[in-house]
């Protein structure tokens, strides 16, 4: 694959600014951060940080799927937390979605996230066919 092209799906929230859900370029998919937005309403899901992490990962999975890849091809993730006390709860949800060997990862606490979300997750994945379901 040469150049770059945008990845877009209605199965994940539309971008709320001047960015793409993901960009595929040179064998990689660079997925923008996903928060726990319901794609149908555009609102942050109600409930705990675990509920928001679950929705964020479902959104991320939809973007990766639209790019023709999946969590089994993720090489790097970054998790942004509104409070580092959410680390364990998000870690538990994350472990249910990611495939071993787990991707390299950074987790950082930030002052705030879009729409008052508690967690945001972005990733870089290898483009191409999935190796696991």
80: domain CATH number?
3.30.1330.40
Task: Let me know if residue 18 belongs to a domain.
Answer: yes
63 sits in which H/E element: helix 49-66
Instruction: Please determine, for residue 132, whether its predicted confidence score (pLDDT) is greater than 90.
Output: no
> Tens digit of pLDDT for each residue in 63-87?
999 999 999 999 999 999 999 999 9
What is the structure's pLDDT at 133? 45
Residue 38 lies in a domain: yes
Sign of the CA dihedral running 100, 103, 109, 113? negative
Does residue 56 fall inside a structural domain? Answer: yes
Give phi and psi for 129, each to the nearest 5.
Answer: -70, 145
pLDDT of residue 128: 81
Q: Is residue 14 part of a domain?
A: yes
Q: Is residue 133 part of a domain?
A: no
Q: Is residue 85 assigned to a domain?
A: yes
Tens of pLDDT along 6-65? Answer: 999 999 999 888 999 999 999 999 999 999 999 999 999 999 999 999 999 999 999 999
Over range 78-100, report the average pLDDT. Answer: 97
Q: How many folded domains does the chain comprise?
A: 1
Residue 131 falls within a domain, yes or no? no
Domain of residue 22 covers 4-126
pLDDT tier at 102, thresholds 50, 70, 90: very high
At 60 the three-state DSSP class reads helix
């Amino acid at each position: 694959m040469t150049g770059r092209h945008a990845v877009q799906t209605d199965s994940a929230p539309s971008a709320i600014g001047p960015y793409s859900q993901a960009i595929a370029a040179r064998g990689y998919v660079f997925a923008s951060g996903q928060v726990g937005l319901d794609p149908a309403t555009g609102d942050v899901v109600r409930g705990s940080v675990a509920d928001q992490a679950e929705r964020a990962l479902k959104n991320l999975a939809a973007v990766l799927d639209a790019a023709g890849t999946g969590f089994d091809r993720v090489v790097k993730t970054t998790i942004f937390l509104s409070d580092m006390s959410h680390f364990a709860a998000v870690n538990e949800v994350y472990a249910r979605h990611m495939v071993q060997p787990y991707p390299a990862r950074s987790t950082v606490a930030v002052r705030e996230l879009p729409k008052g979300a508690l967690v945001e997750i972005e990733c870089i994945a290898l483009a191409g066919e999935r190796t696991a379901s």
